[in-house]
Chains A and B, each alone.
Chain A
Amino acid sequence: MEIDVKKKNKNEMEIELIGEDHTLANLLKEELLSDSRVQIASYNKEHPELSNPVLHVKTKKEDPKEVIDEITEDLIKSYENLNQEFKEINK
Chain B
Amino acid sequence: MKTEIRETSSQNTEFLLKEANQAKANALRRTLISEVPSLAIEDVKVYENSSVLFDEILALRLGLIPLKTELNEFKLPEECQCNGEGCSACQTTISLGGEGENILYSSDLQTGEGIEVPIKDIPIVKLVEGQEVILEAKAQLGTGKKHSKWQPVVACSYKTYPIQEISEQCNQCGECVETCPRNVYKIEDNELKTPNQEKCMQCEQCVEECPQNAITITDDKTKYIFTFETDQSLTPKQILQQGTKQIKQKLQEFKQKLNQQT
Identify the A interface with B (CB < 8 A): 1-3, 5, 8, 15, 17, 20-24, 26-31, 34, 65, 68-69, 72-73, 75-76, 78-83, 85-91
Chain A CB within 10 Å, residue with most, of B3, B5, B30, B250: B250
Interface string of B208-242 (1 = CB under 8 A from A): 00000000000000000000000000011100110
Within 8 A of A (CB), among B1-45: 1-3, 5, 8-10, 21-24, 26-28, 30-31, 34-35
* Bound CA–CA A75/B22 (angstroms): 13
Chain B residue numbers with a CB within 8 Å of A34 are: 21
B22 near A30 with CB under 8 A, answer: yes
B241 touches A24 (CB 8 A): no
List the B residue with the shortest CB-CB distance to A78.
B1
Chain A CB within 8 A of B155 CB: no
Chain A facing B: main interface SS:
helix
Give which listed residue, B30, B236, B255, contacts A89 with CB less than 8 A: B236
* CB-CB nearest 6 A-B residue pairs: A30-B23, A83-B244, A89-B237, A27-B27, A86-B240, A23-B30
Select one of A78, A80, A89 contacting B8, CB under 8 A. Answer: A89
* Of listed A3, A15, A26, residue having the most chain B CB within 10 A: A3
Contact check, B240 vs A89: say whether CB atoms are below 8 A apart: yes
Residues of B within 8 A of A85 (CB): 2-3
Contacts of A79 in B (CB 8 A): 1, 244, 247-248, 251
Q: In this complex, what residue of A is CB-closest to B230?
A: A91
Cross-chain pair count, CB within 8 angstroms: 104
Q: Is B262 in contact with chain A by the CB < 8 A criterion? A: yes
Contact between A80 and B248, CB atoms less than 8 A apart: yes
User: Which A residues lie within 8 Å of B251 (CB)?
Assistant: 24, 72, 75-76, 79
User: Is the C-beta of B102 less than 8 angstroms from some C-beta in chain A?
Assistant: no
Q: Which residue of chain B has the shortest Cβ distance to A1 in the bound complex? A: B253
With an 8 A cutoff between CB atoms, is B261 at the interface? yes
Question: A91-B235, A91-B236 are contacts. A65–B258 as well, Cβ < 8 Å?
Answer: yes
Assess the A82–B254 pair: CB atoms within 8 A.
no
The complex places the Cα of A83 from the Cα of B245 at a distance, in Å, of 7
Partner of B250, one of A1, A80, A81, A83: A1
Contacts of A78 in B (CB 8 A): 1, 24
A72 touches B255 (CB 8 A): yes
B262 in contact with A65 (CB, 8 Å): yes
Which residues from B are CB-within-8-Å of A24? 27, 247, 250-251, 254
| B259 on interface, CB distance cutoff 8 Å | yes
Chain B's closest residue to A27 (CB) is: B27
Query: Which residues of the partner chain B approach A81 to less than 8 Å between Cβ atoms?
Result: 1-2
CA distance A87 to B237 in the complex (A): 7
Q: A1-B253, A26-B27, A91-B9 are in contact. List 13 more A-B contacts (CB 8 A).
A: A15-B258, A22-B30, A27-B27, A68-B258, A69-B258, A76-B252, A79-B247, A80-B248, A83-B244, A88-B5, A89-B8, A89-B237, A91-B10
A3 touches B261 (CB 8 A): yes
